[in-house]
Structures are given as structure tokens and as C-alpha cells.
Amino acid sequence: MQLDETDRRILKVLQRRGRISNAELAEQVNLSASACHRRVQRLEADGFIRDYVALLNPKKIGLPTTVFVEITLSTQADEVLEAFEAAVSRIPDVLECHLMAGTADYILKIVAEDTEDFARIHRQYLTRLPGVAQMQSSFALRTVFKTTALPV
């Protein structure tokens, strides 16, 4: 399915205001409520809209520290990659894990209360990940810009 300009307008609005009513959405994208509802249902069914979520403020829930961890594995054999990915997906503090091209094999995005909490995460989880040859952690000092909205 190809996205037309109306679909793109719907997706732009929903990415920023996921709780908007269908009537408000229809008004913003210049459609009738029923036509808008059908389009949103189609975008959901076709997988363009994956989920609706609440984005939490990490500072308010006590997780203001963001750490990016570069991981290099001892080998890139399929079984090592699979074991690593299975293990890292079970760590509750890891928000993202990306298989990379370049110097690191993976980059993890981790949230923590503070440096002591990250030290706990490191001891309890990261040091036990299978196949890890090298690990380098970088602490974010401040988030300059962050969005979940994709450019559509």
C-alpha cells in the first residue's frame, strides 16, 4: 500500500497526539469522521501504525540517567549473536538494542537512576551477557533533542 498525502497528515498528527479523538483528527486532516476512521483502521491493519503508547518522563519516574553502551562480541557466529540478543532482550533497563555496522557490534540504550544504579546494571546483567569481548559505556550529560515521530 502506498501512503497518500492524507495518510501522511494522519500519521503526523497521531505521532504527536496519539490520544486525539477521531473527530478532532478528522478536522485537522480535513476529512469526514467516518472517512478518517476508515483510513486509521486501514493504517493499523496494514502495519503502518504499530501501537499506541504513553511516553513517560524518565526524570519523574526516577530514571534520569541515560547510558549508551557499545558492545563488541568475540565472534559474529549466528549462535553467539542469537544468544546475545536473547539475553539482552531480558534486561529490563535496556530500552533499545541495535546491531551495528562499524566498530561496535551492538549499541544499547540504557536508563538508570544514577551512576551507582548503572554500576548495578553493569554487574548484574551486562557482565553476564554471552560472547562479549569488549564494552564501552558513555553517559549522556543532557538530552538536547528527542522525538519518537518518524518523518512521514
Per-residue model confidence (pLDDT) at position 67 = 98
- How confident is the model over 64-114, as pLDDT tens digits? 999 999 999 999 999 999 999 999 999 999 999 999 999 999 999 999 999
Q: What is the pLDDT of residue 43?
A: 98
**Amino acid letter, residue 120:** R
41: domain CATH number is: 1.10.10.10
On whether both 84 and 20 belong to a single domain, the answer is no
Q: What is the mean pLDDT of residues 22-45?
A: 98
Query: How many domains are contained in the chain?
Result: 2
Instruction: Let me know whether 33 and 84 are in one domain.
Output: no
Is residue 60 situated within a structural domain?
no
Neighbour-count burial for 30-44, b at 16+ CB within 10 Å, e otherwise: ebeeeebeebbeebe
Give residue 120's pLDDT.
98
How many CA atoms within 13 Å lie on the side-chain side of 96?
Answer: 11
Statement: residue 10 has pLDDT above 90 = yes
Give yes or no: residues 69 and 123 share one domain.
Answer: yes
What confidence tier does 58 reach under pLDDT thresholds 50, 70, 90? very high
Between CA 39 and CA 60 the distance in angstroms is 36
pLDDT at 127 over 90: yes
Compute the distance between CA of residue 1 and CA of residue 53 in angstroms, rounded to an integer.
24
Contact at 8 Å (CB) between 31 and 39?
A: yes
3-state secondary structure the chain: CCCCHHHHHHHHHHHHCCCCCHHHHHHHHCCCHHHHHHHHHHHHHCCCCCCCCCCCCCCCCCCCEEEEEEEEECCCCHHHHHHHHHHHCCCCCEEEEEECCCCCCEEEEEEECCHHHHHHHHHHCHHHCCCEEEEEEEECCCCCCCCCCCCC
Domain that holds residue 13: 5-45
Give a yes or no: residue 25 inside a domain.
yes
Mean pLDDT of the chain: 97
Is 77 found in the same domain as 32?
no
Indicate if the pLDDT at residue 1 is higher than 90.
no
Q: Are residues 70 and 41 in the same domain?
A: no
The pLDDT confidence band at residue 54, using thresholds 50, 70 and 90, is very high
Same domain for 89 and 27? no
Q: Are residues 79 and 131 in the same domain?
A: yes
